[in-house]
A and B are shown apart, each in its own frame.
Chain A
Amino acid sequence: MRSLLLAVLAAYIVAAIHAILAFVNKRKALHRISLWSLAAGFALHTAALLADWIIDGHYPLFYRRETLSFLAWTLAATYGLVLFRYGTQALGAFILPPISVLVFIAAIIQSDSNTAVSASGFSTTWLFPVHTTLVIFAYAAFFVVFLASSMYLFQERALKLKTFGAAFHRLPSLTTVNEIATSAAAIGLTMLTVGIATGMMWSASRDGHIWRNDPKEIFAALTWLLYLLLIIYRSTAGWRGRRAAWLGVAGFALVLCTFFGARLMGGYHVFG
């Protein structure tokens, strides 16, 4: 399904470029082009994932190539949701380029089905795909928290220093980015919670172990704890604004460690 993925990549790149141009030039027409090509890319991407599933016979979220592609798909879906709910066009300029990069990497990685671990053993039970899907969606939500928090910090600083640059005028308001960060964190945390729970259940049903002190598990637990703290602090209102935003940025560093770092440290979760 390489050629289909290349078409997806092309559509995402067009969307990303137009989103950036729309951000710089404040042109609605450019934003519309970005939206249409994103929609086209997303439809193709969905088709590509389905085709993978049918042809390869396992849920398309196992090998590295699949994971990256699936993550990009998740991010695109998340961006669509945020756009639908908040209408914040500015987000596109920051979320579409990484989406394109993910798809690009997924497209150039050679098919890695010859890895030591085979996917066949994992798709026998529905718990495993649910576990991975939820965790990936949680990552995407946390990326949105990261972006919104960064926007918050950038603008808060500009307001305090009274220096309003070009970017300042183009970003959504403090209240909006704060709301986006809050709801994305809540959704992400919910998904991560259920994702971790299903992972544990799957593991238990497989060989009785719920927890195996794997680096990825430890990082995931830390991430979960941090976002739980963030949610609690936000809801008790003590940490509104800058401090919560810093937590949102720091939390994403932990997410990156969970996603990429654990691979480097080896362990049980070597795939994905």
Chain B
Amino acid sequence: MSIVLVGVNHKTAPVEMRELLAFSEEACTEGLRLLVDGEVVREGLIVSTCNRVEVVAATTTEKMQEGTERISDFLSVSRNLPRDFFYDHVYNRTEEDAVRHLFRVTSSLDSMVVGEPQVLGQVRRAYSLALEAGTAGRVLNRLVHHAFHVAKRVRTETGIAANAVSISYMAVELGKKIFNTLKGHSVLLIGGGEMAELSARHLINAGAEGVLIANRTVETAERLAAEFNGTAISLNDLPDYLAEADIVICSTGAEDYVVTEALARKALEERRNRPAFFIDISVPRNVDPAIGELPNMFVFDIDDLEAVVTSNIREREKEAERAELIVESEIMQFQQALRALDFGPTIGALRQKLQDIARLELARQKNRLGQLTPEQERAVEALLLSTVNKISHPVLSQMRRSYEASDIETIQAWRDIFGLEE
């Protein structure tokens, strides 16, 4: 058996094309039943996300080329697009290359932001859709589980997902670095805007408790307070509340400092020197940078955050190189396992071969046996065959057992003993 893969991703195709090729979940199960014919394409799986559409299939090694063709046709028919439309943007991968591609996708090495965790869940979902459609069999089961295993190894053995690579997530990372856990730590959101709100949401998801919202417009403050289950306060009351917050996210359109050094000094005193940090994503800045000089107060403006994010991305790319090595070593293991999966038919062939030997010997010795009645002839044949079967049965069933357990080493041993190399 061989793996073939046909797909487009964010590097090869623009979003206009990707959205035309994308599959909804229903289209996925439906399409899979159409794609898998049991003849050319034995098993199938479709991973469709906003950044990629990948069709993975299992075919016999002889029909690999046909399989790729069939997938391209399938894409054209099911998405109702002429093949020429996406021809230049689609990549075809077979065997090792197809395995490598899926492993890299699942481990988030092929993602727009290397190391992002969503893609693993998306592959998992795609797999359960294929199971639902009944198009994931022995080969794809093995492949997908191996891909999950690779993703897990990459995640735990490299720092590929270690450091935040988005500004909104930096707040969580810094919070954990300073407070160890965000549980029991409060957030003050001054102003609003997409990035500030996203930061606050990340913090709450990570365990932060107690959100204060200060906004110029009362409606916005109340809307955000309802959304984050927090309390709306007036911007004028900021001096009274600043000391309560461990994490301050500031994003207003103000021309001048909203959090002045004097305010921060007062807060620090009231907080009895407990640490606090400020994330200032407003331009012009709203948090006086001089606050960063105060003990136990940390200030990050948008440039600081961007610099850290850039260095974190570079760090991830370095880790990605280590991840590629893991992927390579796992490809070899998978290819071995795949060869083991081809062993099933070989066992049947071996049984046939042994019986053929018995029949051939009978034919050769027939003349010497003299005239036999048809009954006697059948008895001799039965005798031979049942001897062969009785002797070979335990061996064959043992073989089948190692095949079913996908015990690669033992299968290799069986191949060597009986000279079953293809």
| A169-B159 in contact given A162-B307, A174-B178, A241-B273 (Cβ < 8 Å) | yes
Minimum CB–CB distance from B300 to chain A (whole Å) comes to 7
| Cβ–Cβ < 8 Å partners of A175 in chain B | 178-180, 275
Interface residues of A, count at CB 8 A: 23
Closest CB in chain A relative to B157 CB, distance in Å:
7
* Interface footprint category on B: 20 to 34
A242 partner, pick from B174, B176, B178, B295, beta carbons under 8 A: B295
Most buried by B among A27, A162, A172, A239: A162
Taking CB as reference atom, which chain B residue is nearest A244?
B273
Scoring B residues 301 to 318 as 1 if CB is less than 8 Å from chain A, else 0, what string do you get? 000100110011000000
Q: Which of B174, B176, B272 contacts A237 (CB 8 A)?
A: B272
B residues engaging A (CB < 8 A)? 156-157, 159, 162-163, 174, 176-180, 272-275, 292, 295-296, 298, 300, 304, 307-308, 311-312
How far apart are the CA atoms of A174 and B296 in the complex, in Å?
10
Q: Which residues on A are within 8 Å of B, measured CB to CB? A: 25-28, 155, 159-160, 162, 164, 168-169, 172-176, 237-243
Q: Do residues A160 and B274 form an inter-chain contact, with CB atoms below 8 A?
A: no
Least CB separation from B157: chain A residue:
A27
Q: How far is the CA of A237 from the CA of B274 in the complex (A)?
A: 8
Q: Given the complex of chains A and B, what is the CA–CA distance between A172 and B163 in angstroms?
A: 15
Chain B: which residue is nearest A86 at the CB level?
B180
Do the beta carbons of A169 and B163 come within 8 Å of each other? yes
User: Which residues of A have CB within 8 Å of B307?
Assistant: 162
Chain B nearest CB from A116 CB (Å) reads 51
Closest to B159 in A: A26
**Which of B180, B274, B296, B298 has a CB less than 8 Å from the CB of A176?**
B180
In whole angstroms, how far apart are the Cα atoms of A238 and B307 in the complex?
Answer: 33
Chain B residues whose CB sits within 8 angstroms of the CB of A174 once the complex forms = 177-180, 275
> Which chain A positions have C-beta within 8 A of B272?
237, 240
Neighbouring B residues of A241 by C-beta, 8 Å: 273, 275, 295-296
CA distance A240 to B178 in the complex (A): 13
The distance in angstroms between the C-alpha atoms of A173 and B174, with both chains bound, is 9
Q: List the A side residues contacting B308 at CB < 8 Å.
A: 162, 164
B177/A240 in contact, CB under 8 A? no
B300 near A162: Cβ-Cβ < 8 Å: yes
Q: Is the CB of B159 within 8 A of A240?
A: no
Bound-complex Cα distance A160 to B177 (A): 13
Which residues of B lie under 8 Å from residue A25 when comparing CB positions? 157
Contact call A160/B180, Cβ cutoff below 8 A: no
- Cα A132 to Cα B159 in complex, Å, equals 45
User: Which single residue of chain B is at the shortest CB-CB distance from A172?
Assistant: B180
Q: A162-B304, A162-B307 are in contact. Are A173 and B275 (CB under 8 A)?
A: no
B274: which A residues are within 8 A, CB to CB? 237, 240
Which residue on chain B has the smallest CB distance to residue A168? B177
Tell me the smallest distance from the CB of B206 to a CB of chain A, in Å. 13
Q: Roughly how many angstroms separate A240 CA and B274 CA in the complex, as a whole number?
A: 7
CA distance A168 to B159 in the complex (A): 13
CA distance A247 to B156 in the complex (A): 37
Residue of B nearest to A242 (CB): B295
Alpha-carbon gap, A28 to B156, bound state (A): 9
Question: Are the C-beta atoms of B179 and A173 separated by less than 8 Å?
Answer: yes
Q: What are the residues of chain B within 8 A of A242 when measuring CB–CB?
A: 295-296
* A–B complex contacts, Cβ < 8 Å, 20 sampled: A26-B162, A27-B156, A159-B174, A160-B292, A160-B298, A162-B300, A164-B311, A169-B159, A172-B180, A173-B180, A174-B179, A174-B180, A175-B178, A175-B179, A238-B273, A240-B273, A241-B275, A241-B295, A242-B295, A243-B295
| Apart from the given pairs A27-B157, A159-B178, 6 other A-B contacts in the complex at a CB distance below 8 Å | A25-B157, A28-B156, A159-B298, A162-B300, A174-B177, A243-B295
Q: Within 8 Å CB of A162, what residues of B?
A: 300, 304, 307-308
Complex Cα distance A27/B300, Å? 31
